[in-house]
């Protein structure tokens, strides 16, 4: 199995370039991040070249976080902001060689929001596709993100079908899916053709995958049996220094 360190949570006490170096030293095969925009892209590119790690992905900006934004692309009336965030993400992804962009929907509901999100995703897929970049959408659980536009895989698949772009895929985060739907292994089987990236964390506390209600050794075996070979994203929240949480990784190294 290959694993990616999500640097939005892991080693987030370090600068992003130094977090990339820490992920390499810890034995990860790739990295991913949330919002790297305050770090010069050249610094990220240098750290990636130094370590040889691929950058799997990044997110579009959330918007005005102080006012509660968690994405923009499904919010009617904020289409220009959403497109600017997409343009920024594509430009940054190209500068660092990122493979995927997670376009964040935001807090919205209803048919108008769906149409707004579909239009934004169509725009994003066209922009990103010109550079070989995949667009990802991710359902977020309604405990952590109440009223987020996407909360289930069924909604995400419906959106993917509505947009109809070949480079639009599902971000399958085991943590969110388990909280909202359960039945992880069957869902991995049925949704495999639509999955662009897989992430994981313990449930329900979103810690490292060595405790909680999900037996990840089994889930990882299922993913391997499906023939999925891309790195799996460790997107969990350490409560102690990250290096002290990596016992789960040792059997795979």
The residues that are catalytic are 138, 235
Cis peptide before 58 (omega within 30 of 0): no
Contact 106, 129 (CB under 8 A): no
Q: How far is CA 225 from the centre of its chain?
A: 22
Q: Let me know: does 65 contact 206? Beta carbons within 8 Å.
A: no
Contact 139, 152 (CB under 8 A): yes
3-class DSSP state of 3:
strand
Helix axes 153-163, 184-191, angle to 10 degrees: 10
CB 116 within 8 A of CB 75: yes
Residue 170 CA: distances (Å) to CA of 27, 59, 183, 194, 234 = 26, 14, 17, 6, 17
d(CA 46, CA 144): 34
Please name the helix (run of DSSP H) or strand (run of DSSP E) that holds residue 112, with its range, or none: helix 111-129
Please report, for the chain, how many H helices and E strands are present, in that order.
8, 8
């Amino acid at each position: 199995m290959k694993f990616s360190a999500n640097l939005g949570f892991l080693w987030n006490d370090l600068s992003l370039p130094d977090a990339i170096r820490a992920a390499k030293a810890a034995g990860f095969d790739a990295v991913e991040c949330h919002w790297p925009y305050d770090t010069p892209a050249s610094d990220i590119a240098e750290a990636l070249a130094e370590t040889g790690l691929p950058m799997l992905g990044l997110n579009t900006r959330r918007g005005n976080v102080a006012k509660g934004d968690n994405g923009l692309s499904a919010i009617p009336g904020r289409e220009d902001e959403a497109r600017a965030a997409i343009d920024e993400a594509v430009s940054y992804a190209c500068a660092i060689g990122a493979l995927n962009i997670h376009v964040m929907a935001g807090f919205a509901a209803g048919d108008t929001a769906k149409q707004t999100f579909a239009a934004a995703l169509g725009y994003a897929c066209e922009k990103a596709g010109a550079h070989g970049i995949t667009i990802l959408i991710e359902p977020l659980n309604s405990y952590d993100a109440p009223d987020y536009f996407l909360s289930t895989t069924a909604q995400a698949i419906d959106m993917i079908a509505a947009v109809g772009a070949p480079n639009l895929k599902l971000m399958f985060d085991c943590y969110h899916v388990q909280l909202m739907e359960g039945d992880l292994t069957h869902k991995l089987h049925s949704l495999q053709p639509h999955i662009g990236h897989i992430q994981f964390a313990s449930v329900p506390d979103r810690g490292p995958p060595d405790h909680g209600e999900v037996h990840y050794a089994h889930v990882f075996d299922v993913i391997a049996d499906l023939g999925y070979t891309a790195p799996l994203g460790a997107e969990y929240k350490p409560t102690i220094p990250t290096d002290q949480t990596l016992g789960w990784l040792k059997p795979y190294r």
